[in-house]
Structure 1
Amino acid sequence: MLPWIELASAVAPGGGMLRLLRRGEEFSIRLGDGNELMNSRLSGSEEALATLALERAGARAAPVVLIGGLGMGFTLRAAQAVAPADARLIVSEIVPELIAWASGPMQPVFGDCLSDRRVEIRQGDVGDEIRAASGGFDAILLDVDNGPDGLTRDDNDGLYGEAGLRAARRALRPGGVLAVWSAHRDAGFTKRLSRAGFVAEAHAVRAGRKRGARHTIWTARRPHDRSAVQVR
């Protein structure tokens, strides 16, 4: 069996080492302790994050989608496949090295998806993007950390607590959808979504298209109301 070769590393804001490894055609991003965050062979649940959310948001003219976390680009590419030609796909990634890896050592995974004119990469905290917007997004897709429990950054808890969820609700247009990826089930998080004013649903999906561990995706729709303004 081919050995894993470390290609690069990066320090996430607030601490924690991210390591990029390759074995043949397979890529892996892991924490410094060896815990795997993502693998290029297992993309099914990250892709479902986009397809489930955009399906539930429904057909919209010039939809604006915020994707929290670039990762290996699985969620972005799934959104590209189903979003209309006039969509805006904004990706917020807090670790600058991950953005650089997309056009560097991980270019075989990303291909030419970042050259899509619909795509804008913003280096920064997705939480700041959410708090700065008010009713401007049609969908917010969060593939940040390992889910609501927060594994790599304590600050990520601010996305998944009630205050963070209410900020996400305000950032969505009426009928818009917040979708959250998690490695684990969490009945308490479903209840928090409801308390924050969402109509929430949890979905069990495979890590791979037909195999792998079961992950959880929440789709949470903002009910229709009268308030809606444009995203900055």
Structure 2
Amino acid sequence: MLIDTADIPGGGQLRLLQYGGNFSIEFGFEELMGSCDHVSEEALAKLTCERLSNRDGDVLIGGLGMGFTLGAALAAWSPRSSITVVELVPKILTWAKGPLAHIFRDHLADPRVIIEIDDVHDVIANSKDRFDAILLDVDNGPDGLIQLENERLYSGWGLRSAHTALRCGGILAIWSAYPAADFDRRLEAVGFVVETLEIPAFIGSNDDVHHIWFATKQTE
């Protein structure tokens, strides 16, 4: 059942659908986020925090989605942390406070959370030594499926901007539904130390996996 649609700035449309008790955000025939399978989205935050030297600091999340990465970040980072979520599509925030409010629970009211309706590319490009972690789940992977503009994030220039926006020892973590053979090299070319993990797409999955790149800015 179609619940609502959301126009994407610059073109395109997202659809919020309900299947029984489950919800799905879709772009065309692609599901970008579902309410029942979110293991890897939570791992994006949890595993990034585990790789940092402490649980304090400033975190940037690109893409609000259904809030699973945000919820995992709130659980992983300390009460002294700050978590900024940048969402391009205003209607996503409306859904979070409306038909998806039961999924978000009280996450948006947490005093650590700052919501910005903006392009995460611009926020990163205008930051220097600001974040301890940048978590990106703004598309289906390091390409511009939803918007060609998203490719700016994953180009050499965009990755250099992320490197600059991180503090020394900080981590850029990128979620993807598919492998990207040359992406490790792109990250390494701008100075990151790279680790790649395959995460089950859902509990019990052996063959269906998602991918996360953890790119660390070396300490000086």
Q: Which category describes the TM-score, using the shorter chain as reference length?
A: over 0.9
Alignment gaps of 5+ in structure 2: none
- Whether 2:143 is the aligned partner of 1:139: answer no
Between 1:89-98 and 1:108-117, the stretch displaced more is 108-117
Could you tell me how far 1:209 is from its partner in structure 2?
3.0
Could you tell me how far 1:6 is from its partner in structure 2?
0.6
Aligned residue in 1 for 2:186: 192
Could you tell me how far 1:150 is from its partner in structure 2?
1.6
> Which of residues 105, 112, 116 is equivalent to 1:118?
112
- Whether 2:73 is the aligned partner of 1:79: answer yes
Q: Deviations over 1:136-166 (max 9, x none)?
A: 1000000011111221000000000010000
Q: Which amino acid aligns with 1:213?
A: D
Identity of aligned residues (%): 48
Q: Which whole-Å CA distance do the structure 2 matches of 1:199 and 1:217 have between them?
A: 14
Could you tell me how far 1:16 is from its partner in structure 2?
1.4
Relative to the length of structure 2, the TM-score reads 0.97
Could you tell me how far 1:56 is from its partner in structure 2?
1.1
Could you tell me how far 1:132 is from its partner in structure 2?
1.1
Aligned residue in 1 for 2:52: 57
Q: Secondary structure at the match of 2:51?
A: helix
Q: Which whole-Å CA distance do the structure 2 matches of 1:16 and 1:44 have between them?
A: 27
Aligned residue in 2 for 1:223: 218
Mapping 1:196-215, distance limit 5 Å: 196-211=190-205, 213-215=208-210
Relative to the length of structure 1, the TM-score reads 0.92
Aligned residue in 1 for 2:11: 15
Cα RMSD (Å): 1.0
Q: Which whole-Å CA distance do the structure 2 matches of 1:26 and 1:179 have between them?
A: 27
How many pairs were matched up?
Answer: 219
Aligned residue in 2 for 1:129: 123
Q: Secondary structure at the match of 1:193?
A: helix
Could you tell me how far 1:109 is from its partner in structure 2?
1.0
> Which of residues 79, 84, 87 is equivalent to 1:93?
87
Q: Secondary structure at the match of 1:42?
A: coil
Q: Which runs of structure 1 show a deviation greater than 3 angstroms over 4 or more consecutive aligned residues? A: none
Aligned residue in 2 for 1:25: 21
> Which of residues 22, 35, 60 is equivalent to 2:30?
35
Aligned residue in 2 for 1:229: none
Mapping 1:162-173, distance limit 5 Å: 162-173=156-167
Q: Which amino acid aligns with 2:216?
A: R
Higher relative contact order at CA 8 Å, sep ≥6: structure 1 or structure 2? 1
Q: Which whole-Å CA distance do the structure 1 matches of 2:47 and 2:203 have between them?
A: 14
- Whether 2:156 is the aligned partner of 1:156: answer no
Could you tell me how far 1:12 is from its partner in structure 2?
0.9
Could you tell me how far 1:207 is from its partner in structure 2?
1.5
Q: Secondary structure at the match of 1:186?
A: coil
Q: Secondary structure at the match of 2:182?
A: helix
Q: Which whole-Å CA distance do the structure 2 matches of 1:106 and 1:28 have between them?
A: 10
